[in-house]
Structure 1
Amino acid sequence: MSTTQSERLRELLEPLVTSQGLDLEEIDVASVGRRRVLRVVVDSDTGADLDRVADVSRALSAKLDETDAMGAGEYTLEVGTPGAERALTEHRHYVRALDRLVRFQLREGGELVARILGVDEEGLDLEVPGVKGRRPTTRRLAFPDVDKARVQVEFNRKNKNDDAVNADNAANAENEEEA
């Protein structure tokens, strides 16, 4: 039997979130002054847009209203998604972060920033960016070697298709000059 309020809430709410096609990632109950705040984080392989989050929020609110899971006091329900710099703690998180840049804290110390190229049951295939004009290298990282991992926000990331578009534009410019 569940002992903590968060565990009881997870047992109550997870089936409802799953029925909406989402994963229940996190539940947090915090005190803010005299009120309590229940934060629920949801996600899916295809993401959770605002409409899906609103739908699950209404469903969770109705379920909580019909039970005494939060007790008699007032509380605020906040439902959201993990955010851009999410921590990667489950296998599905790594799969969802495919092709993203991630900062890894390694178990034996040290840090690694690399792009996830592939994920399987044992670990990750990574592309480590080159330094000082050198080419990127690939590396295999086993899950047991990872202490923490967090997605990094990239503001200036070059799109994979940019190279192809630039090559096409250059070829078109050459053809126009020849004509």
Structure 2
Amino acid sequence: MAKSTIVEKVTEAIRPAIDEANLELVDVEYVKEGGNWYLRVFIDKPGGVDLDDCQAVSEKIDTILDELDPIPQAYFLEVSSPGLERPLKKPEDFHRFKGHLVHITTFAPVDGAKSFTGKLLDYTNEGIRLDVKGKQILLPHQQVAASRLAVEF
């Protein structure tokens, strides 16, 4: 079974349990590192998640996955926070984090660059608008390869 199909099936199966716990399902990854497979589930809530949240979700979804058995090989289940530099994937993510510092990479150069760090101004049908050092830049959705929050030190 393809990795993307596994991620879709797992996401669909576990979303109700995560919603029921009043948590946000940020992302699901299924990756091979070294000789091991990992199913990583990233959750969040306002104010952040703690170890108890991760443990409770892990126990709930472990039961669901045991019953569904969507993954043919052995894997490690990891449930965690997306971290300070959480990915921005859904339109709701971009709306929620307007005004925050973000880092976006593009598939092809936009205004001569493929990497942008700036204040998230807006998310529209045309693209993602950033303020990068006082200059507004519009990044078309089809050009965006990855988006995440950025941390200033």
TM-score computed with the length of structure 1 as normaliser: 0.62
Q: Secondary structure at the match of 1:64?
A: helix
CA distance in 2, matches of 1:80, 1:63: 18
Q: Which one of the candidate residues 110, 113, 116 is aligned to 2:117?
A: 113
Alignment of 1:47-62 (within 5 A): 47-50=47-50, 51-62=52-63
Match of 2:14 in 1: 13
Gaps of 5+ in 2: none
Match of 2:148 in 1: 150
Question: How many equivalent pairs are there?
Answer: 145
Match of 2:93 in 1: 93
Match of 2:80 in 1: 80
Q: Larger radius of gyration, structure 1 or 2? A: 1
Which letter maps to 1:79? V
Match of 1:42 in 2: 43
8 Å contact kept, 1:128–1:139: yes
8 Å contact kept, 2:26–2:42: yes
**Pair 117,61 (structure 1): closer, same or farther in 2 beyond 3 Å:** same
Report deviation, 1:77: 1.3
8 Å contact kept, 1:26–1:42: yes
Deviation per CA, 1:36-69: give whole Å up to 9, x if none.
322112234x254113323222211222233433
Report deviation, 1:115: 0.9
Larger relative contact order (CA 8 Å, sep ≥ 6): 2
CA distance in 2, matches of 1:10, 1:125: 29
8 Å contact kept, 1:108–1:145: no
Match of 1:28 in 2: 29
Which letter maps to 2:92? R
TM-score computed with the length of structure 2 as normaliser: 0.70
Which letter maps to 1:14? R
Which letter maps to 1:116? L
Match of 1:169 in 2: none
Q: Which one of the candidate residues 138, 143, 146 is aligned to 1:141?
A: 138
CA distance in 2, matches of 1:8, 1:30: 15
**Pair 22,120 (structure 1): closer, same or farther in 2 beyond 3 Å:** farther
8 Å contact kept, 1:101–1:113: yes
Gaps of 5+ in 1: 130-136, 156-179
Identity of aligned residues (%): 28
**Pair 145,77 (structure 1): closer, same or farther in 2 beyond 3 Å:** closer
Match of 1:163 in 2: none
Which letter maps to 1:17? I
